[in-house]
Chains A and B, each alone.
Chain A
Amino acid sequence: MNHIALLMENQPGALSRVIGLFSQRGYNIDSLSVAPTQDETLSRLTMTIGEEGADINQVLKQLYKLVDVVMVQNLNEADALTLELAIIKLNKTKAEVEGLLKNYEFEREILDEKDNYTVFKALGDTQEIENLLSELKKEEFLEVTRSGTLGMTKGNESLATNDQTKISYD
């Protein structure tokens, strides 16, 4: 898994350029999450890309070439935190779900129980979420929605920027 963090202009069409690049160049995205940042002119993405098919350095360079992309960072090469949220619904009672989850370490919370259906959230790194889901496949598994991986570097390293390139004309 390669996790890429990317800062781009919050412009119409910017996201489609990023996504389009992947189909155009034959790369696969496993997960993608995007939202505006504290600077409303910028959006931040975290992408997960499988190991197969794409040369990760080529992906990074092609992404950075897009005019709307301001910064790109390979989180795998940085000291970074990654996190994913999953919301899962099972045809089980609250008590049964609690039983199922008791051996897991990640953060979770039962959100709702109705008519013998229980909705809960799980918050952990992508691998923990993957492990949970493969375990749940043995059960009668109804529905899952995942946030995609979110990531951020530790310490003073940051993707935020105020840099502008000034281009002057004579």
Chain B
Amino acid sequence: MAKVMTSGGEALIKALADENVDIIFGYPGGAALHIYDAIYQQDRVQHILVRHEQAATHAADGFARATGKPGVCLVTSGPGATNAITGIATAYMDSIPLVVISGQVPNHLIGTDAFQETDMMGISRPIVKHSFLVQKPEEIPVIVKKAFHIATSGRPGPVVIDVPKNLTDPNEKFEYKFPSDLYLRSFALYNEAENSEVKKAVKLLTEAERPVIYAGGGAINSNAAEEIYEFGKLMGCPVTNTLMGLGVYPASDEQFVGMLGMHGTYEANMVMHEADLIMAIGARFDDRITNNPNKFGLQAKKIHIDSDPSSIDKIIDVDVAMTGNAKKVISQINKELKAMNFDNKKFDPWMKKAMQWRADHGLNHNMLDQKNPGDIILPQQVIQSAYKATDGKAFVTSDVGQHQMFAAQYYHFNEPRKWINSGGLGTMGFGLPAAMGVKFAFPDETVACITGEGSIQMCIQELSTCGQYGLPIKIINLNNRALGMVKQWQDMQYGGRYSSISYEDSLPDFIKLAESYGHVGMKVEKLSELQAAMEECFALKDKLVFLDVYVDPDEHVYPMLKAGGDMSEMYLSKTEKTFE
């Protein structure tokens, strides 16, 4: 084969193309200009110009969550790099594969406080899976290959490649070689679990009386939905998903008891509390799940499947630990259960009990039919309306706050990768740019961003990006004229002292704002007009629609776990609770 000579900048983009990357999100600047010149001179990798580097990372992140492929973004040094930090931390907390390329000042200026210099390796260190500072342009293809391998394997996560400007100099060419194999020293990857552990797990599963399957984001990352569905059916027991795991088990299935945790359903939290066996799949016993870890699952034996050994026994000690890929490990367990013709009938009374809990205090999923005083709209009704208008088939991204919890509770996700939200870091401003990433990945699918008037203003500049690339995202803005989740906590824990949550007089006219970017703006204030507006919004296939929905400003998200309590201790409404 003839030698291919490239500059560092060209090698970087060519290596991305050779990694099958066809889209990257970014923002140019001084230290990245050689790279941008290389982008201009090729057509294998499309570059999407965002309006703020945070949005580049979130868009790449949304792309990754929806597709399962790594998201890629490119930013310049200094402020470009620091603006990307929030997005990198967001991906890190949710274990999302991201490759972030940052320009850096030329080698000889590093450490001199040069213009737009920041120590990206240092600043990003605690929030990356790994990072590389390029030392020689020839090593760029190998570094790119390593970065993608590290970002996507095991427990995925973001990887930063910091590239000094002089190493991308268009005048300095070298022979481009994309490696066919990689060598990494002792980079342990876990696939299948030890057979002895599988046997132990199966013994616990089949000997249990009240088992529950609790699946999280790791189950989605390992594409284990099919296996978990089969496992759920073999077990015939209640299944719950975390906020990050929604969709990995179909929400419409009769065994699904809803989301668990802080704002989980009554039945899911009761099932967890009363279970005698908790089977955790790709979930990490996070504090929003367990409530007080000292009071968590005291009656239950625990089995934990995770691709990251450091997640095991971190918060909750377990009886059987299986480090491995959830898809493969669940297959191993399914095989055993099938081989022994396991009869799950003995779990029927337990399943009935879960259904009784649902009947007692489950969420009301038919709120669209109810009438409200003053024709006011409740936020839950907006989600149900969106669900109805999209037939439950949309990709739904969200920001962070009450609207996020309502969306998680009321939009039934039947497939993985359809629900895209910042669960770990809780990043306001995530929703719109993430929706852009999803829309680029799936241009023919319906993509809705469920947001609030607080969150949307954190990355609202991306309305411009959506205009430039013609992205017909549907923005459903649950406008309660206040920072709703903060307000809820101030109501419940701070005697209703509303500190810094209100900006009602200074809210923009979102209709005009959307229109000024070339989009469609719609406003709805009455419940009687909600469904028609929602249908119209989703019917405008080629337009971004900003649907500004005025909702009850006093609504709280329930259930809500009592701080420091166990999982059965919940507030069920403003007047009801399960504890004294």
Contacts and interface: CB of A to CB of B under 8 A. Distances in A.
Nearest to A65: B310
Given A165-B187, A167-B184, A24 B308 contact: no
Interface class of chain A by DSSP:
mixed
A61 B310 contact: yes
A17 B185 contact: no
A166 B181 contact: yes
B373 interface: no
A17 B121 CA distance: 10
Interface in B498-548: none
B121 A24 contact: no
Given A20-B125, A20-B126, A167-B149, A70 B308 contact: no
A167 B182 contact: yes
B185 A70 contact: yes
A17 to B, nearest CB: 6
A165 B181 contact: no
Interface string A154-170: 00000001011111110
A70 B186 contact: yes
Nearest to B315: A58
Interface string A38-69: 00000000000000000101100110110110
B263 interface: no
A82 to B, nearest CB: 24
Nearest to A13: B121
A68 B186 CA distance: 9
B495 interface: no
Contacts of B189: 165
A58 B121 contact: no
Interface centre among A61, A64, A67 (most CB of B within 10 A): A67
Contact of B183 (A58, A65, A165): A165
A111 to B, nearest CB: 36
Contact of A17 (B125, B184, B187): B125
B182 A166 contact: yes
Contacts of A163: 185-186
Contact of A164 (B129, B183, B313): B183
Given A61-B309, A166-B181, A16 B186 contact: no
B131 to A, nearest CB: 7
Nearest to B309: A61
Q: A-B pairs with the 10 shortest C-beta distances?
A: A61-B310, A67-B130, A167-B182, A164-B183, A70-B186, A24-B126, A168-B181, A70-B185, A62-B310, A165-B187
20 contacts: A13-B133, A16-B122, A20-B126, A55-B313, A58-B313, A67-B150, A67-B184, A67-B187, A68-B130, A70-B185, A71-B186, A163-B186, A165-B185, A166-B182, A167-B182, A167-B183, A167-B184, A167-B187, A169-B180, A169-B181
Interface of B: 121-122, 125-126, 129-131, 133, 149-150, 180-189, 308-310, 312-314
